[in-house]
């Protein structure tokens, strides 16, 4: 099967000086293992997380805030933004207007207006931007993307995209404030009541990241119950779970589920094509999860990696991927995606090219969910999704 992406340019001597902002999720990436990258500054508002960043990246150049770093730091080319979801767009804007390339955690923005703002600052500055969407580099998604590009699925007319992240014991959610739904001072964090479909990228990464399609129309429904999480939150969000039907710019269908209260966990997808259908069950891809429409379209046409027990042997791409420098060929978080995301951003910068997850792809993975949440609030009203496309240097 094809490789996950362009090979690491081993002969390239360019260097990237990167700053990391956010010591929670931001400490789980691998910038420091890329031979063309050096972590030159780190920051977080919390002292404990600043210390995590300092130790992880062996960087003693520590700041109390992004604002402080922007005022004082001159040895930075790019910044990794891993702050609260509702602050991503603001922090990206601050960083790009300071002349830094940006890789950002998901989602790219919280409102359509923020998407418009990001498009303006991206095109005005001409800097590189990549959203660190983990679904794009999950090993089964790499397989699906390659198989689609080979023509194995044919026309993918329908996709099912799912992200389930259960909130757990609802009584404990209120009583125990020692979790990520609260800040150290006991006040509620940004996660409290966050609308499910405002976090759509783990789903849409499986569509935009496989076929390249754009969502143009949505209709969504939501479900909630009586609980402080829904009755008192900064978003006026009444839903635990939301499901959306989406139409693509190629006239195809997609169903997108984001659930916060469900006996389920994880991210998965199903791609229905007119030549084959590929299921991504929890725990991996099995041979019986790949269905060909007719015998003449069958598996003999493709060099499918299959184990003796019938399981589709999805490659562990991280073991041999040429896009990863040897030191980064290791298992990592979210289905092996963290090393790929780290390497692709740095590779793109040293080669002076757009990253695989382009800025416009990032908005295409984010904005449809924002609009879909509005549809759910309006009892499933059909709504058009604004498009953000342009030529990119």
What is the C-alpha to C-alpha distance for residues 150 and 139, in angstroms, rounded to an integer? 17
- Across the range 111-128, mean pLDDT stands at 98
**Confidence at residue 280, expressed as pLDDT on a 0 to 100 scale:** 84
Nearest to 139 by CA among 272, 11, 275, 267: 267
Q: In this predicted structure, what is the pLDDT of residue 264? A: 86
Distance CA(177)–CA(97), nearest Å, equals 37
Reported as type and span, the H/E element at residue 112 is helix 112-125
Backbone φ and ψ for 173, nearest 5 degrees, come out as: -60, -30
Q: What is the edge-to-edge ordering of all strands in the sheet holding 290-292?
A: 290-292, 276-279, 265-273, 156-165, 253-259, 241-248, 215-223, 383-384
Q: What are the residues whose beta carbons fall under 8 Å from the beta carbon of 143, sequence distance 6 or more?
A: 1, 285, 312, 314, 315
In this prediction the pTM is: 0.93
Predicted pLDDT of residue 312: 73
Burial 350-368 (b: 16+ CB within 10 A, else e): beeebbbbbbbbbbbbbbb
Query: Is residue 12 within 8 Å of 73, Cβ to Cβ?
Result: no
CA distance 57 to 78: 15
Instruction: Please state, in angstroms and rounded to a whole number, the distance separating the CA atoms of residues 126 and 120.
Output: 10
Q: What pLDDT is recorded for position 374?
A: 98
- Residue 391's pLDDT is 57
Percent of the chain predicted with pLDDT > 90: 83
Please state the rounded mean pLDDT for residues 310-315: 74
**Is residue 97 over pLDDT 80?**
yes
Fold of the domain spanning 138-314+366-377: Dihydrodipicolinate Reductase; domain 2 (3.30.360)
Asked if residue 347 has pLDDT above 70, the reply is: yes
Summarised one tens digit per residue, pLDDT across range 249-282 is 999 999 999 999 998 889 999 999 999 999 886 6
pLDDT given at position 393 = 44
Q: 61-81: per-residue pLDDT in tens?
A: 999 999 999 998 789 999 999
What is d(CA 6, CA 12) in angstroms, rounded to the nearest whole number?
14
Count CA atoms within 13 Å of residue 235 on its CB side.
26
Provide the token pair at 389.
């496309």
The yes-or-no verdict on residue 311 having pLDDT over 90 is: no
Residue 285: its pLDDT value, please? 47
- For a pLDDT cut of 70, what percent of the chain falls above it? 92
Return the pLDDT at 284: 46
pLDDT band at 7 (very low <50, low <70, confident <90, very high): very high
Q: What is the pLDDT of residue 390?
A: 74
Q: Above 90 in pLDDT, residue 366?
A: yes
What does the pLDDT average to over 185-214? 97
In this prediction, residue 322 carries a pLDDT of 95
Confidence check: pLDDT of 225 > 80:
yes
Residues 140-189 have pLDDT tens digits of: 999 999 999 999 999 999 999 999 999 988 999 999 988 999 999 999 99
Average predicted confidence (pLDDT) for the chain: 93
């Amino acid at each position: 099967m094809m490789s996950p992406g362009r090979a690491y340019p081993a002969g390239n001597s360019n260097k990237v000086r990167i700053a990391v902002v956010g010591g929670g999720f931001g400490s789980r990436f691998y910038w420091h293992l890329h031979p063309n990258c050096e972590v030159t500054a780190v920051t977080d508002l919390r002292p404990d997380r600043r210390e995590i960043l300092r130790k992880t990246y062996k960087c003693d150049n520590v700041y109390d805030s992004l604002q402080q770093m922007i005022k004082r730091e001159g040895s930075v080319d790019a910044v990794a933004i891993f702050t609260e979801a509702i602050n991503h767009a603001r922090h990206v804007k601050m960083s790009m207007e300071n002349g830094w390339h940006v890789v950002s955690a998901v989602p790219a923005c919280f409102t359509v207006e923020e998407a418009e703002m990001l498009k303006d600052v991206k095109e005005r500055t001409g800097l590189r931007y990549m959203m660190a969407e983990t679904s794009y580099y999950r090993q089964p998604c790499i397989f699906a993307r390659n198989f689609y590009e080979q023509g194995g699925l044919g026309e993918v007319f329908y996709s099912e995209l799912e992200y389930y992240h259960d909130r757990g014991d609802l009584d404990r959610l209120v009583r125990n404030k020692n979790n990520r739904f609260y800040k150290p001072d006991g006040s509620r964090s940004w996660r409290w009541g966050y609308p499910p479909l405002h976090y759509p990228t783990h789903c849409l990464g499986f569509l935009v990241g496989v076929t390249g399609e754009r969502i143009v129309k949505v209709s969504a429904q939501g479900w909630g119950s009586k609980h402080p999480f829904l009755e008192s939150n900064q978003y006026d969000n009444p839903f635990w779970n939301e499901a959306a039907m989406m139409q693509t710019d190629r006239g195809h269908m997609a169903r997108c589920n984001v659930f916060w209260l469900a006996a389920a966990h994880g991210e998965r997808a199903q791609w229905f094509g007119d030549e084959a259908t590929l299921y991504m069950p929890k725990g991996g891809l099995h041979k019986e999860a790949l269905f060909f429409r007719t015998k003449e379209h069958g598996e003999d046409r493709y060099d499918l990696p299959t184990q003796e027990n019938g399981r589709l042997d999805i490659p562990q791409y991280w073991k041999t991927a040429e896009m990863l420098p040897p030191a980064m060929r290791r298992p990592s978080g979210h289905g092996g995606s963290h090393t790929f995301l780290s390497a692709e951003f740095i590779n793109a910068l040293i080669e002076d090219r757009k990253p695989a997850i382009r800025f416009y792809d990032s908005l295409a993975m984010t904005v449809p969910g924002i609009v879909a949440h509005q549809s759910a609030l309006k009892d499933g009203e059909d709504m058009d999704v604004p498009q953000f496309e342009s030529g990119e240097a």
